Amino acid sequence: MPMEKEGPIGIFDSGVGGLSVLRHIRDALPTENLLYFADSAHVPYGDKTEQAILERSLAIAKFLLEQNAKALVVACNTATAAAIKAIRSAYPSLAVVGIEPGLKPAALHTRTKIIGVLATKGTLSSASFNTLSGKIATSAGVQFALQACVGLADQIEKGELDTDATEILIHRYIAPLIPQNVDTLVLGCTHYPFVRPMIEKTLRQLSSAPITIIDTGDAVAKQLMRILAEVEICRIDERAGRLTAFTTGNPIVLKNTIFALLGWQTEVFQVVAEL
Ligand code: DGL
């Protein structure tokens, strides 16, 4: 198992959503080398079967390890729900961090005890989400109002962060949550932080009471920091780390999207769609 301190951290998502996690990782661990894998030929994961997502995730994990990744971040809620257990059992000595909708921080924050959750169909129907939400609902005495946002990740993939079509979609998904007295809204998909301004605008239009948004990208970066320190594989170097990206889609599109979303020039390589 490649555990060299110099090795990069492998981060993956169905598409560009994981970049919302990557930017927190870059802030928290500026000297680490990062590999980003966008499975753009297969996005969205949210409408696929667990088995299909599991197979993709294992293939991508293997690819990233072949690039000497010393740790893996599953920067996708849908893939974490479907595949993190299998990845951990395939690579028991590897540091693996996943992302789950921030139900716990939301339960600590809510006053109305009703929490909205925006996520993909795959995440909301997964066994791991249902086990977690059931436990938290019982222990904290809260209710979750679930909203699958079909098509929203696709809008973000197209770069439509502030178009009318995206606004209409966001309005359609958020409107039913307001009469349920939601005061906290969990972004349970890593694509959604990129439309956070549009979500905030829609919340202001629909609700006179403030609604707090919960995003766990930062918590994932902190967890990764803790694990790297624990297993003593932090990169010891003063120089800034490099980001290299891979996609099963069009590398020019990913290069332009990384620049548009994060303002970074990145080398992007194309990988065969069926790894
Ligand atoms: N970004 C992913 C997530 O966090 C999934 C979006 C998709 O491919 O449907 O769930």
Give the CATH number of domain 103-214: 3.40.50.1860
Give strand pairing partners of 186: 117, 214
Q: Residues of CATH 3.40.50.1860 domain(s) within the chain?
A: 9-99+217-270, 103-214
Q: Region of 104 please: left (phi>0), alpha (psi -120 to 50) or beta.
A: alpha
User: What three-state secondary structure class fits 157?
Assistant: helix
Burial class (CB in 10 A: 0-12, 13-18, 19+), 17: buried
- Report DSSP letters for 18-37, one per residue: THHHHHHHHHH-TTS-EEEE
Question: What is the value of pTM for the model shown?
Answer: 0.97
Let me know if 76 is a catalytic residue. Answer: yes
Ligand 1 atom closest to Cα of residue 43: 8
Q: Which of 38, 65, 189, 211 is catalytic?
A: 189
Distance of alpha carbon 61 from alpha carbon 65, whole angstroms: 6
Nearest CA to 181 out of 144, 133, 234 is that of: 144
Is the previous residue joined to 197 through a cis bond, with omega within 30 degrees of 0?
no
Q: What is the pLDDT of residue 179?
A: 97
**CA atoms within 13 Å, Cβ hemisphere of 197:** 6
Q: Ligand 1 pocket check: which of 11, 12, 14 to mutate, most ligand atoms within 8 Å of Cβ?
A: 14
Q: Is the CB of 13 under 6 A from ligand 1?
A: yes
CB 271 within 8 A of CB 63: yes
Encoded amino acid at 186, one letter: V
Average pLDDT, the chain: 96
**3-state SS of the chain: helix, strand, coil percent to 5?**
50, 15, 35
Low-confidence ranges of the chain (pLDDT < 70): 1-3
CB of 129 closer than 6 angstroms to any ligand 1 atom:
no
Q: What is the third-level CATH fold of 9-99+217-270?
A: Rossmann fold (3.40.50)
- Contact in structure between 114 and 143 (CB atoms under 8 Å): yes
Q: Which atom of ligand 1 is found nearest the CA of 75?
A: 4
Half-sphere exposure of 152 (CA within 13 A, CB side): 29
pLDDT tens digits, 73-103: 999 999 999 999 999 999 999 999 999 999 9
Q: Is 189 a catalytic residue?
A: yes
Query: Under a CB-based contact definition with an 8 Å cutoff, are residues 5 and 236 in contact?
Result: yes
Contact 2, 68 (CB under 8 A): yes
| pLDDT value at residue 1 | 45
